[in-house]
Amino acid sequence: MSFRFGASLSLKPPAEQFELVRRVEALGFDSVWTGDHVSFHGPIHESLTLLATYVPITTRIKLGTAVYLLALRAPAIAAKATATLDALSGGRLIFGVGVGGENPKEFELCGVPHRERGARVTEGIDVVRTLWRDSPASFKGRFTAFDGVSIDPKPVQRPGPPIWIGGRSDAALTRAGRQGDGWMSYVVQPERYAQSVDKIRAAAAGRALDGYAFAHLAFVTVGRDWESAKAVWVAHLSKRYAQDFEPLARKYGIIGTPEQCAEQLARFGAAGCNYVVVNVIGDAKDERDQLERIAADVLPRLR
């Protein structure tokens, strides 16, 4: 079992954010991630703009969106912004893409019919890849059509940055198998993870999945014992998602001592996961300390 590790960070004042990103790279994480919304019930930066600010302060670490709501943007604009970010970072972008939809108001805000979001993402992925790859590029689809246009400069990664598909639905898993270079799950148990890997492989229909990233966004709280870590985990996620996470802790939490957290993550490895992105759950002031503990005491047990 060989894992790679990323860290998904919460929002902080800029100086603190940049200091933490530098530290995450120094701790040996493979990637740093941000979520993405245009309008949300809590403050959140525009994802590609935020990742661009990390470029000059890091050298090695990959920069990822988990996940970019592609349906909310014209795919040509997304292709332009991501090509720029990949070029400026020397080829470090991982473009995680998802459908979203739990927040219908932001679809209204962006003038996109909520019911079209899946179809727009599926087509949008093909549009983005076409524009990254071809000069000149042409495309004829339901939402986007163009003939003989180019976006330059191209991404450093050729034919383009890896596109990871987020989501848990069968539609998302089919999309991940047919179109993805990776898949990122969240709020699933290892048993369902293993079933999802099988569905992705089936949807790939013979497409080689060598180098495919089977990733999991893990909500992690390290503590002196399971109970105290659980209390922190439940309080913060219940607030973030405005629902009671108490019944979900045993199912979905990576919670407890470093040994317990490593053991829970190892179950995902057994289910086919090869990339863990940790999202520390707790007070913002404790996030750095939590990441230090995870890097020192959890990840070495899994490497």
Q: How high does pLDDT run on average in the chain? A: 96
Alpha-helix runs per DSSP H in the chain: 14-26, 47-54, 75-88, 104-109, 117-133, 170-179, 190-204, 226-241, 249-252, 258-270, 287-293
Alpha-carbon torsion, ordered 47, 53, 55, 60, to 10 deg: -70
Beta bridge partners of 96: 164
Mean pLDDT of 211-231: 97
Measured CA distances, 290 to 6, 18, 186, 250 (Å)? 14, 17, 20, 20
* Helix, strand, coil percent content, the chain, rounded in steps of 5: 50, 20, 35
Q: Nearest 5°: phi and psi at 244? A: -80, 115
What is the token pair recorded at 38?
């245009």
CB–CB of 48/81 below 8 Å?
A: yes
pLDDT at 1: 56
Element (H, E) at 127: helix 117-133
What is the token pair recorded at 243?
């629902």
Is a pLDDT exceeding 80 seen at residue 147? Answer: yes
Mean pLDDT of 204-209: 91
Mean pLDDT of 33-46: 94
Is a pLDDT exceeding 80 seen at residue 280? Answer: yes
pTM beyond 0.75, yes or no: yes
**pLDDT tens digits, residue range 155-170?**
999 999 999 999 999 9
**pLDDT tens digits, residue range 47-88?**
999 999 999 999 999 999 999 999 999 999 999 999 999 999
d(CA 239, CA 241) in angstroms, rounded, equals: 6
Query: Among the listed ranges 64-68, 206-210, 225-229, 235-239, which one has the minimum average pLDDT value?
Result: 206-210
**pLDDT tens digits, residue range 164-199?**
999 999 999 999 999 999 999 999 999 999 999 999
d(CA 302, CA 286) in angstroms, rounded, equals: 23
**pLDDT tens digits, residue range 90-146?**
999 999 999 998 899 999 999 999 999 999 999 999 999 999 999 999 999 999 999
d(CA 244, CA 187) in angstroms, rounded, equals: 14
Mean pLDDT of 283-294: 96
Is a pLDDT exceeding 60 seen at residue 228? Answer: yes
Element (H, E) at 31: strand 31-34
d(CA 48, CA 46) in angstroms, rounded, equals: 6
How far does Cα 245 stand from its chain's mean position?
Answer: 21
Mean pLDDT of 251-259: 97
